[in-house]
Structures are given as C-alpha cells and as structure tokens.
Structure 1
Amino acid sequence: MTFSEYFELLFSDYTLRTITLGTAVLGAICGMLGSFAVLRKQSLLGDAISHAALPGIALAFLITGAKDTNILLLGALVSGLIGTFWIKGMTSKTHLKSDTALGLVLSLFFGFGMLLLTFIQKQPNANQAGLDKYLFGQAATLVEDDVRLMLIVTGISLCILLLFWKEFKILLFDADYTKTLGFNTKFIDVLITFFIVLAIVLGLQTVGVVLMSAMLLAPAAAARQWTNRLSMMILLAAIFGILSGVIGTAISASQNNLSTGPVIVLVATVFVVFSFIFSPGRGLLFREIRFRNNRKDLQLKKTLQFMYGIAKTHDNISHPHAIRILNNFQGFTKKSLQQMEDKEWITLQGQQWALTHKGFNEAMNLYNKTHD
C-alpha cells in the first residue's frame, strides 16, 4: 500500500480510520500532559509508570480470566498509581534521591510483571491472553470503543487543564509561592500526576510498556525548543503528538512488517531532532550562527578599539594611517576592514585607513564600558 492509497482508504476503511484516529488522539493527550512531566523534570517518571503498569495488567487477567481491554487498563491504572505513590513516598520519607526511587520501582514492578506473564503462559487459558502485546504495543487491536475512551479521557483532561490552569501554571514554576497563595499544592500535584498516569495507561495498548515514555516525552521535548510560553508549548506538543501518530500509522500501513508503535515513536523522535537543530531560539544551527556572528562582531570591535588607540593620539581623528600598522594585530583581516567600512566606522583610501566620527564614538563607548 502506498501513501496515496492509504489516505484514499482512510475514510472508507474501518480499521485504518480507527487506528489513525486512536493514534492521533493518543498523541494529543500525551503531548499535552507530557509537557507537565518535562517542565517538572519528571521525565523518568513516565518510564517508571509505564513499566509499573505491567503487573496490573497481568493481575487483572488472572483475577477476571478474560481479556477485556477496559479491565486490563483499569488494572494497569491501579498498578501505575501504586508505583507512582511508592516513588513519591520513598523520596519524601527516606533519604533516597528520585532517580534511585524511580529505578527501584521500575525494576521491581517490571520484574514482577514479567514473572506474572511467565506464569500466565503456563495456564490452560494462556492462548486467550495475548498480553505480550502490551510490552511493545499493537495498534491494530484498537477498536472504536478504545478510541471513544481515549476521546473521553482527552476531553476530561482538557477541561481539568482549563479549570486549574492558573494553579498548574504557578505550581510548575514556583511551588513555594503557590503555597503562600493558599493553594492546596498536594491536591494539584496529585491531579497532574493522576492524569499523566492515565495518559500512559491509555497508550500501553498502542505503543507498549517499553516505548510509552518516549511517546509521552518526545512531543513535549520538541515543543519546548520552539517557545517559552506554557500555553503555546502544550499546543505545539499536542500538534507534534498528533502528527507523529498519523504519520507513523501511515508509514506502518504502507510498509510490510512494520509495527505501528515503534514507527510512531521514531517519527516523534524525528520531530525532536528537527526541533533541536532548527528551532530559532534554542536550535543548534541558529545557536552556531549566533555564535559565529558574535565572534565576528567581537573581532571587529577589538580591531576598532585598536584603531581607536592609534587615532586618539592625533588631534585629527581622520588622520590617515597605513594598513600595514594593523598587520600584527590578532583581530585584523582585510575582510574585517571592509565590514567596518560598511558600518561607516572607518574610511579606506588605497592602503590607508582613517576613523570616522561614528567609528570614534563607537570605539570610545566600547573603551568606557571595558573600564567601568
């Protein structure tokens, strides 16, 4: 299937429409809520929660004996919340750092989950399970009920986000100030954490336990490179998440033997790499351009100060001087002289130069700044 055939079938084929809509909605909610995880410096929390959800899925299957998606995700939600509050409890009640607590909970819960999956495989009803899809995701199993659930959760998350916008924003950037204003910071923190866990749990079926943290963080990390405003960051992260879901699904559908979840994560990573390089404010390319321009500007000003030292010994600042006087000066190049003439700092006549009044004043200002 080619890209053009995919988009032709998108609105007529039930499977393609459901998967594409599901991955787009997942990308939107992960982008929105992942922004808070990135700004709160809780990037590894997403990885720990996704791995902590695995034993909940296995236990839900063992208790009910049925592969009901809603029940399995409910088990994942409970397990993920328990893992989250274990992490918070260890960091607040003990001397352990957050990275240690995250590593302990991740390995403990994931190890227990893998043990349960091994146990399930030996049971008579193991052929009904198919729980291994939650490790790496299987977007093809999405049905309309799953997408409807994602839409409901996304709508509720958006409403909560708008309702508590001021509180979330203040808590992100100054938790102590939030307390002085009388806000219940614990409740706000739990609310944010709950919806982050919920977004992760919703994505397990599509992306899987192993890759879910990348789906949560990549759109937000890409958006962070383009703006300093929280509202714009959340919007851009949602857009990047949607595009990652749609483009990843299209690539997976148009090629044979490509799993949808990993392709979506790779597309999201492309957005991150592109943002790291080409964003105007923080991008590596524009940063290098600014660095080179600043270095050139510094060289010009160093040369101008050197000329100023020569010119100020004369009553007439426009007195001509030979260019060869500058030959042993480190910042001097013939190109720099041309650039200084373009700025109207000096005048050039053959092999001689002279400071203009504009150049003399500029150099005098530089000299005064360096001696303040």
Structure 2
Amino acid sequence: MDLQEYIELVFTDYTLRTITLGTAILGAICGMLGSFAVLRKQSLLGDAISHAALPGIAIAFLVLGTKNSAAFLLGALVSGLIGTFWIRGITRKTHLKSDTALGLILSLFFGFGMLLLTYIQKQPNANQAGLESYLFGQAATLLESDVWLMIIVTGISLVILLLFWKELKLLLFDPEYTKTLGFNTKFLDILITTFIVVAIVLGLQTVGVVLMSAMLLAPAAAARQWTNNLAIMVILAAIFGASSGVLGTAISASHNNLSTGPVIVLVAGAFVLISFVFSPGRGLLFREIRFRKNRNDLQLHKTLSFMYDIASTHEDISHPHAIKILNNFQGFTRKSLQKLEDKNYIKVHGNMWSMTASGFHTAANLYNQLVKAEEDE
C-alpha cells in the first residue's frame, strides 16, 4: 500500500487508527519521561521496572482467574513500584551501587514472573490469560479505552512537569543544591520515578516487557545528541518517540508477519543512529569534520610560524626564500602552502616564497600566543 492509501486507512479503519494513536502517545510520553531517566544516569531503570512488572501481571491473573487488562495494568504498576522502591532501598541501605541493585531486582522479579507464567500455563484456564502479549508486546490488542488512558496519563504528566519544572531541573543537575534551597528532593525523586513506572506499565501491552526499556531510552538518547537545553530535549524526545510509534505502526501494517512492537523499537533505534552520526554538536560526522579542520588549521599555523621564524631574521619580510627549505619541516605540504597563499599570508613565485605584511602580523600574533601559553604552563 502507498502512503496515501495508508493515511486514508488510518482515518477509516478503527483498529489501525487506535494502534497508530496509541503508539504515538506512548512514544511521546516515553520520550518525555525517558529524558529524565537518561540525564539521571538511570538507563537500566526502565529495563528493571518493565521486568519487575511481570509478576504483578501474573498474580493479577491468578487472583481473577480471567483476562482483565485494567487489573493487569494495576498489578504491573504495583509490582513495578515495589521493584523501584526495593532498588532505592538497596542503594541507600547497603554498599551496593545502583547498577548492581537494578540487575538484582531485574533478575529476581523477572525470574519470579517466568515461574508464575510456567505455573499458569499448566492451569485449565491458561488459554484465557493472553500473558504472552505482555512479554513481547501485541499492539493489535489496544482498545480505545487504552488510548484514552494513555492520553489522560500523558496530560497529567505534562501538568506535573510544568508545575515542578524548576525543581526537577535543579534535581537533575545539582541535587545537593536543590536540598539546600529547601526543596523536598525525596518527594521529587519519588514523583518522577513513579511517572516513569506508569509510562512503562502503559507500554507493556504494546511493546512488551523485553523491549520496553528501549522505548523509554532510545528517543531520549537521540534527543540528547541535538541539544544541551532540557526543555528542547524533552520536546525532541517526545517527537522522536511519537514518530517512532507512527512509523513503526505504518511499517508493520504495510507488511505481513511484522510485529508492531519490535518494529517501533527498531525505528527508534534508527533515530538514535541518525542522531549519533548527523547531529551537528555531537554527531560522529561533524566531529570528524571538525577534527580534520582543526588538524588542517594546525598544519597551517605550524607552517606559518616556521615561515615567520625565517622571515623575522631579515629586515625585509618580503625577502624571497626557496620553497625547498620547507621540505624537511613536518607541518609543510604543498596544499598548506596553497591555502596560505589563498589567505594572502604569503606570495609564491615559482620555487620561491615570500611573506606578506598580513601574514607576518598574523604569524606574530600566533607566536606571541604560543609563548604566552608556554609561560602559563
């Protein structure tokens, strides 16, 4: 199907419209809240919480004995919050670091969840569970009520971010200073962590336990490459996340036997890859361009300084010198000589060169700066 047919189908087909809108909203809220997880260096938090939610889903089914999406989400939320507070308790009351605590909780809860799933599979009503959709994600099961729930949570998250923006920003970059100003850092920490848990729980049905952490972190990681401003990063992460949801759904719907969740994660990964390569500030491509430019500038400065040493020994700075005296100089190349002539720093006549007044003045400034830097060291 072409693009026009797909757009028409989005507005006419209930299932596709629901999935597209749901994945877009999920991507936006994950990108928005994931920015805080990335900046707080809690990248594994999403992985730990998503895995910690699995026992809650299994226990909810065992209690009810039937599939109930609302109960599953509630069980996942409770289980995820318990796992989160256990992580906080381990890092605060023991000598273990956060990465160790995250790994422990992830393994413990996921192992317990898989044990419960194995037990459920042996029950007579196991076919009613549909818990495999929470393990690997199944966007096709999204209902309009799920989308409305995502919209409400996203709206509440936006309101909370706006209300506590200054405090959360201070907490990110200087927790100790935030505490000295009288703000309750523990409350702020719990607040943002709780909303991250809620966002992860909302995405389990779409992306699944295994891939949910990527949905939380990838848009934020991509946005971080483009800006140093927190507000712009949050907005960009939300855009990248929403775009990943829409494009992933479109690709999945246009091809047979493609699961929506994994495709969404792959699209988000593509945003990260593009950002890592092409972002002007931190991108690998522009970093290489700047490196080559700086190296070339250094070559020019070294060559010009060497010429300055030669020219400064003569009363007439425009006195011609043979190019061959530069041949053994490490910074000299014919290309650098041409660039210096283009900048009107030197004049080249056949196999002879001479320094212009502009070149001599520029080289003198470079020489003085170098001497000053050596004196400061």
Same fold, TM exceeding 0.5?
yes
Aligned 8 A contact 1:3 1:254 in 2: no
Partner of 2:297: 297
Task: Answer yes or no: is 1:150 the counterpart of 2:150.
Answer: yes
Specify the code of the residue in structure 2 equivalent to 1:65: G
Taking the aligned partners of 1:81 and 1:65, their CA distance within structure 2 comes to: 23
Partner of 1:227: 227
Partner of 2:194: 194
Partner of 1:322: 322
Taking the aligned partners of 1:345 and 1:179, their CA distance within structure 2 comes to: 57
1:167-316 aligned within 5 A: 167-316=167-316
Taking the aligned partners of 2:321 and 2:87, their CA distance within structure 1 comes to: 72
Partner of 2:352: 352
Taking the aligned partners of 1:156 and 1:65, their CA distance within structure 2 comes to: 32
Taking the aligned partners of 2:59 and 2:257, their CA distance within structure 1 comes to: 31
Aligned 8 A contact 1:3 1:251 in 2: no
SS in 1 for 2:205: coil
Partner of 1:15: 15
Partner of 2:375: none
Following superposition, the deviation at residue 5 of structure 1 comes to 2.5
Taking the aligned partners of 1:329 and 1:311, their CA distance within structure 2 comes to: 15
Specify the code of the residue in structure 1 equivalent to 2:200: I
Partner of 1:127: 127
Aligned 8 A contact 2:47 2:106 in 1: yes
Taking the aligned partners of 2:366 and 2:109, their CA distance within structure 1 comes to: 62
Task: Answer yes or no: is 1:71 the counterpart of 2:52.
Answer: no
Taking the aligned partners of 1:215 and 1:205, their CA distance within structure 2 comes to: 13
Taking the aligned partners of 2:222 and 2:197, their CA distance within structure 1 comes to: 21
Following superposition, the deviation at residue 340 of structure 1 comes to 0.5
TM-score after normalising by structure 2: 0.97
Taking the aligned partners of 1:265 and 1:7, their CA distance within structure 2 comes to: 22
Specify the code of the residue in structure 1 equivalent to 2:165: W
Following superposition, the deviation at residue 48 of structure 1 comes to 0.4
Partner of 1:35: 35
SS in 1 for 2:193: helix
**Where does the alignment leave 5 or more consecutive residues of structure 1 unmatched?**
none
TM-score after normalising by structure 1: 0.99
Aligned 8 A contact 2:139 2:261 in 1: yes
Taking the aligned partners of 1:311 and 1:279, their CA distance within structure 2 comes to: 43
Following superposition, the deviation at residue 66 of structure 1 comes to 2.3
Taking the aligned partners of 2:355 and 2:70, their CA distance within structure 1 comes to: 79
More displaced stretch, 332-341 vs 193-202: 332-341
Aligned 8 A contact 2:66 2:125 in 1: no
Following superposition, the deviation at residue 328 of structure 1 comes to 1.1
Taking the aligned partners of 1:47 and 1:4, their CA distance within structure 2 comes to: 37
Partner of 1:336: 336
Taking the aligned partners of 1:362 and 1:90, their CA distance within structure 2 comes to: 61
Deviations 1:145-172 (A, max 9, x none): 0000000000000000000000011100
Specify the code of the residue in structure 1 equivalent to 2:203: G
Deviations 1:40-81 (A, max 9, x none): 000001000000000000001111222111110010000000
Following superposition, the deviation at residue 350 of structure 1 comes to 1.9
Taking the aligned partners of 1:22 and 1:92, their CA distance within structure 2 comes to: 37
Aligned 8 A contact 1:19 1:142 in 2: yes
Specify the code of the residue in structure 2 equivalent to 1:250: A
Taking the aligned partners of 1:269 and 1:367, their CA distance within structure 2 comes to: 48
SS in 2 for 1:172: helix
Aligned 8 A contact 1:3 1:250 in 2: no
Aligned 8 A contact 2:27 2:244 in 1: yes
Taking the aligned partners of 1:5 and 1:116, their CA distance within structure 2 comes to: 44
Taking the aligned partners of 2:297 and 2:110, their CA distance within structure 1 comes to: 55
Following superposition, the deviation at residue 119 of structure 1 comes to 0.6
Taking the aligned partners of 1:327 and 1:97, their CA distance within structure 2 comes to: 57
Taking the aligned partners of 1:314 and 1:38, their CA distance within structure 2 comes to: 60
Specify the code of the residue in structure 1 equivalent to 2:366: L
Aligned length: 372
CA RMSD of aligned residues (A): 0.8
Taking the aligned partners of 2:204 and 2:2, their CA distance within structure 1 comes to: 28
